[in-house]
Amino acid sequence: MLSRREIIELLADRGTQFAVTPILDPGEQFNSSGIDLRLGPDLIVSRRATGAVAYDPADMDGVRARLKDYQQYVRRPFGSAVYLHPGDFALARTLEHIRLPDNLAADAAGRSSWGRLGLIIATATRINPGFSGTITLELANLGTIPMVLYIGMRVAQINFFKMAP
């Protein structure tokens, strides 16, 4: 696992093809072994179903059609509030764009401070060498009270690993 110092050195070296942008607050976003990631402005919010609706994996065409009926794309300005009520689910992506060279992999995870409140922030945790893009975040409020998230706030963290030659 790379240390804070190693991450900062690699990010400064333009020849590495390693990038995490934008870093809005280096003092707050860098921790001892990774970088905190922020909630980006693009979300897909699941609406509550009325009536009997089920996703049947044997009927993928039906699943795709129902997803369009029960999901809504939302783009919010930086700093605006996003409300997640108990049982709500949303897909989001990080504000930061990640680019990994062929010799680095990464793991992303939700910040534990949110988990203690009942907000689960799941990701496709393993990020393969050569990846370039934003990280998808799956937000689920498993708690008993509504939560307010703000676009741009730190919600996840990413750690980097050197690949063996």
Catalytic residue numbers, as ranges: 138
The DSSP secondary structure of the chain, one letter per residue, reads: ---HHHHHHHHH-GGG--EEE--S-HHHHEETTEEEEEEEEEEEEEPPP-S-----TT-HHHHHHHHHHHEEEEE--TT-EEEE-TT-EEEEEEEEEEE--TTEEEEEEE-HHHHTTTEEEE---EE-TT-EEEEEEEEEE-SSS-EEEETT-EEEEEEEEEPP-
| Strand partners of residue 31 | 34
Neighbours of 74 (CB within 10 A): 13
